Structure formats: structure tokens, C-alpha cells
Amino acid sequence: MESVSHENRKFAPPAAFAENAHIGSMEAYHALYEKSIKDPEAFWAEAAEDLHWFKKWDTVLDASEAPFYKWFSGARTNVCYNCVDRHLEGPNRNKAAILWEGEPGETRMLTYQDVHREVCKFANGLKQLGIKKGDRVAIYLPMVPELALAVLACARIGAVHTVIFAGFSADSIRDRVNDCGAKCVITADGGWRRGRVLPLKNIVDEALVGAETVTDVVIVKRAHGDPFPCHVKEGRDHWYHRLVQDQPIDCPCEEMEAEDMLFLLYTSGTTGKPKGIIHTTAGYMVYTHQTTKYIFDMKPEDVYWCTADVGWVTGHSYIVYGPMQCAATQIIYEGAPDSPDEGRFWDIIEKYRATIFYTAPTAIRAFMKWGDQWPEKHDLSSLRLLGTVGEPINPEAWMWYHKTIGAEKCPIVDTWWQTETGGHMLTPMPGATPTKPGCATVPFFGIEPAILTDDGEAVEAGILAIKQPWPGMLRGIYGDEQRYKDTYWCKWGGKYYFPGDGARRDEDGYVWILGRVDDVVNVSGHRIGTAELESVFVEHKDVAESAVVGVPHEIKGQGLIAFVTVIKGRSHDDQLLKELVSMIDKSIGKFARPERILFSNDLPKTRSGKIMRRLLRDIAEGKKLGNTSTLADPSVVEHLRRQYEES
């Protein structure tokens, strides 16, 4: 593993921030960290005491069936109770939970009491449709308050939600719904994005042809039938507003066992088939609560804004579950950052006096490109803490964020974690850790990172590994125990969790993430398996073979380059190109479109027939070609390179 970063700048947390922070010094961090590693069970038991339990646990960690770890066995709780009901007793009852703004500009505000009422009515509506504990419910919604309400309503009655990002295609919805056997889909007639309405319900209708398990569809009215009609299928489809209209405003929380499933979230791996990552109740709840409290230094008076979509894990952990357990006041915005103009985010920060802002490096790079005139037009002085998530941030973008948005007074938490980890793993403590541009720095409590070779030898730069289990960890892959073991626990004989990222440790002991070491590419913070695209391409009758690689991209972090070989005698022209692009749109979604598709007669292969992606990456990056001595036919790669440069 090679690292090219020589970043030496270091920024101590501002004294004013540290003074009032939950963790205000590295001494305080080290003391708690030591405790969390030496006696994790005591540490996590104490953390769990902050929350409500119908019944306390018998054991904190049960490793008897590792890697199927169990946390807080014997306990009964409900995550929705901890996000909502727990706040109704005291002053938080009438605190704003959600400050929502639609892309066209309408606003809505829901207090914790409002959220309680709406979630209860929604939960009762779902019950009326026959949804029970353990049933799977798919959610395909724009970023409207009903998205958070739907998630919480499922958690309340013990239904397992699987949120599908509203940029996914009908085929992707169908695959997910079928994989988990969802009974119900919650969607909207449409959602706003860059001044246009996406016809979400129509996409769901298409998806449900061939999805036999779905008996009911709930439709939130957002687009008001404009500009396309929303077909309501008698007996299956229900308008949300009618369903909840006369429901009782109370719905008791299901008492969930600690390891009862909370949600499934599909994410890309190294095969063509996305994995349904399983998260369960108690451990995930405790972990998201703790990380939100410490990493966002969440205080009652904060106005928090995470710009992620609830369709990704960041929205699960750091819009719905973490912040709401902390009784946070948060902004939820429906639309694009450049609608109606490139100042929209800064306008929202100024308007609501946001204090904490959490976004993706891709967005930060786009803001940089749009120019300083946009943030300069707005008063951003309310901000006290900034965060990034989803992909590595380059030092230049970090410095811009620090200066232009943070006015050099806001700590930046660069949080490394994954769908699988449930919550932050490596991240600065905002009031304690001196930060370095582009570095995720130190582990969260209870997390013990290691950097290893393939053989498990500790090295300075290599493959990131996590030594012991933590409460927020995934509990499996839906319907595929073996894939769970093989993917995450086999690499070092079950001793470490394997996240799939490369990392380096510097002289201060900080961990730098170097990007994925597998065939997963991070495009604008969205995980895309190259195998997923390849399997789409080869479905085309004229395509023989395909290899997709990730390359650095100025704004998106990484972009996809596809190499496609066409069956002998078939033509590869603009028509084929168009067809392949539309196949990606249809099978995955527009966000997975490659930057370039290059047709070739052959691909570089080893004598045993394995495609050498490393060489394809060299070509796509315009680098000197690496070792070609193991190739069956070295002329192939030279030819490809010339073709690439000429096209």
C-alpha cells in the first residue's frame, strides 16, 4: 500500500470549543478510551444507562457464537421510544425535532410531541394494513418528514425497515424487495430534485411487477399529481393522509429483544448482488447515541444539519436514530444544493442559525468549484462544528472547508465508518483531537484499529482491521450467513473485522484512510461495486466481457471507467453506447453511470484468464504501466492504452 500524502499541518481545537465540550482534552479522551478497551463491557453498560430499557440486559457482550456477536442479551427496549417518547416528559416535549424545508421553499416544523403523534398514527396505520413485528417494509421516499416518521413508525411496531435511496431504479427496488420479502412499500407520488419532480410512485409501480410479496403500498402526497398522474391501484395502494387520518394518537411501543432486527440496508460489495446489511436493536441504539453525543458534541441548544439522504446509512444513524435519541433539533432539506442557486445550503444555515453541519467531501469540492461568492453572501457565524463523511477528503478541500465555511473557528470531524459499522469508528473528538487535513485521526471509544498485511502482520501502511466487536456492528447479511463470515471475518482467521479499506498510521499514531482495497468504488460517497456494473453490461447481447475500474475524479472523489469488449463481428457504435448507459440507469440508477465507456477487442488477462484491473487503472489514470510480465498477451494492453488516449 502506497501513500502519497505528506500533510503536516495540524489544528488544535479552539480553546472556546474545548472548554465546553463533552470531551475537552486528549487526556480526557485517552482516559475514557483506555477504559473502553480494557473493560468494554463496563464501558458499554455505563453508556447504555443513558437510555430507556423495558428490561435491562443479562450480559453486555456474548461472543459465544462469534462472529455472530450479541450485545445486551436479555434486554428489552425500543429505539423509537428512545428517540421520541423519552423526550415527552421534560422540556424537550415542545422542542423542535425537525425543521424541514422543501426544495421549492415550503417549510414545516415538528416538535417531539408532533413527531410522537404522527409516528403513532403512522404506526397504527401500518398495523391496520396487517404489518406486524418482524415484517419487512421498504421505504422509497424523498427527503420529506414522512421519511423519518416512516422509519420510526416501523421501529415502533418492530417492523424491519429497508430504506431504498430515491435515486435507485425500478429494477433495484424489485431486487431489494424480493431479497427481503417486503410486505409493504412506502413511497410518494413524487419528490423534488433540481426544480423537477421525480415520479417515485410510477417507478415503484414498475418495480412491483414481479414482486409477489408486496401486498400494500402507502403513498405520501408530495407532488400533488403534477406533472404526471399517480395511479392508485385499488386494494393495494393507500394514500398516507387517508390511512393516518382517523388513527388513534397513541400506539404503544413493541418491546423488542436486544437482538431483534431493526433494519436492513442494502449496500454494494464485490459481487454483482448487493448485500442486505442487518442491524439489530440494542447495540445499534447505544452506539449511535454515544457517537452522536461525543462526535457532534451535541448540546440542547444546537441546530444540527446532516445533508445526507436517509437512503444511505449516514441518514439512518445521523439523521434519524442518533440525533433523535439526543433530542436534537435538526434541519432536513429535500432538494439539491444548487437549487434555485449555488447558495442554497448557506441560505439554509443562515436562516435556521445552524450550529453543526455534516456533509460529504464531494459536496465540499463542488462548493469550492462554484466559488466563494456563494458562502460569502451569507452569515455563517452560527456554525461551531463541521463534519465530513463517506469518502476520503483531500487536504485542499479540507482547508477550504476550514477557512471559508468554518472561519477557522470550527473543528472538523472527518468521520470514517461504513454501513456495516453502524456508526463512527475513526474520527477526531471535536474538543480534544488536534486535526490534520484529510485524516480521520483516532478511534472512537471501544474501537481498536490495526493495520495489517494480508498475512496479519502489523505494518505502518496496509489493510485496515478492527480488533474487537463493538455494539453498532452489523449482525449479518440477510439470508446469507456464509457471505457474512466470508466477507468480513475470514481474512485473518476470525480475529479481526475486515472493512475493505487501506490505511496508514503516522508518527502521531493517527490513522489515514487510503481508500478501498477491494473492487468497490466510492463515487460521490456512494458505494458502487464494479461487479454490479459489469454484470449489467454483459447482459447486452453484443457484449462479450467487461471490466470496470475506479479512477480519481476531481469532484466525485472517484469516477468509473468501463472497458467493454464486443462479441466478434458486432459493431460498437454510439447506439450501443446509448443502450449500455440506459441499461445502467434501468438496473441501478443514474448515479452509477460511468464517466467513460471504452470499447476494445480484448482485455489484459493473466495466463489463467484473470482480468488485470490494475493495468486498466493505470491506463485510465494515464500512468506508466505496471508490471505486464504475467500477461497472456502483453500487446493487448499497449493497444488499449493507445486507444484510450486517442478516444
Assign 559 to helix, strand or coil. strand
Nearer to ligand WTA, 524 or 600 (CB): 524
Nearer to ligand WTA, 304 or 374 (CB): 304
Nearer to ligand WTA, 247 or 522 (CB): 522
CA distance readout (Å), 567 to 543, 546, 616? 6, 11, 20
Strands lying side by side in the sheet with 160-163: 237-239, 216-220, 184-188, 136-140, 160-163, 261-267, 275-280, 476-477
For the bound state, the minimum distance from the C-beta of residue 394 to ligand WTA, rounded and expressed in Å, comes to 11
For the bound state, the minimum distance from the C-beta of residue 231 to ligand WTA, rounded and expressed in Å, comes to 33
Closest by alpha carbon to 270, among 416, 486, 538? 486
| Interacting residues with ligand WTA (CB under 6 A) | 267, 312-314, 389-392, 414-419, 440, 499-501, 513, 516, 522, 527
For the bound state, the minimum distance from the C-beta of residue 392 to ligand WTA, rounded and expressed in Å, comes to 4
8 Å CB contact between 197 and 191: yes
Nearer to ligand WTA, 170 or 503 (CB): 503
For the bound state, the minimum distance from the C-beta of residue 425 to ligand WTA, rounded and expressed in Å, comes to 9
For the bound state, the minimum distance from the C-beta of residue 113 to ligand WTA, rounded and expressed in Å, comes to 31
Looking at beta carbons, which residue is closest to ligand WTA? 419
For the bound state, the minimum distance from the C-beta of residue 201 to ligand WTA, rounded and expressed in Å, comes to 26
For the bound state, the minimum distance from the C-beta of residue 67 to ligand WTA, rounded and expressed in Å, comes to 18
E strands in 102-243: 107-111, 136-140, 160-163, 184-188, 191-193, 196-198, 216-220, 237-239
Cell 431493526 locates to: 262
Nearer to ligand WTA, 360 or 616 (CB): 360
Residue type, 18: A
Nearer to ligand WTA, 125 or 361 (CB): 361
Nearer to ligand WTA, 239 or 591 (CB): 591
- Burial class of residue 5 (count of CB atoms within 10 Å of its CB; 0-12, 13-18, 19+): middle
For the bound state, the minimum distance from the C-beta of residue 83 to ligand WTA, rounded and expressed in Å, comes to 20
Nearer to ligand WTA, 120 or 389 (CB): 389
For the bound state, the minimum distance from the C-beta of residue 388 to ligand WTA, rounded and expressed in Å, comes to 6
Closest by alpha carbon to 412, among 278, 508, 333, 297? 297
Long-range (24+ apart) CB contacts under 8 A made by 236-245 are 238/125, 238/129, 240/122, 240/125, 240/146, 240/186, 243/125, 243/128, 243/129, 243/218, 244/118, 244/121, 244/122, 244/124, 244/125
Nearer to ligand WTA, 74 or 167 (CB): 167
For the bound state, the minimum distance from the C-beta of residue 313 to ligand WTA, rounded and expressed in Å, comes to 5
Q: What is the dihedral of CA 401, 403, 407, 413, to 10 degrees?
A: 40
Assign 579 to helix, strand or coil. helix
CA distance readout (Å), 48 to 282, 310, 448? 9, 25, 20
Distance CA 192, CA 144 (A): 10
Nearer to ligand WTA, 72 or 498 (CB): 498
Assign 358 to helix, strand or coil. strand
- H-run or E-run covering 449: strand 449-452
The β-bridge partners of 451 are 464
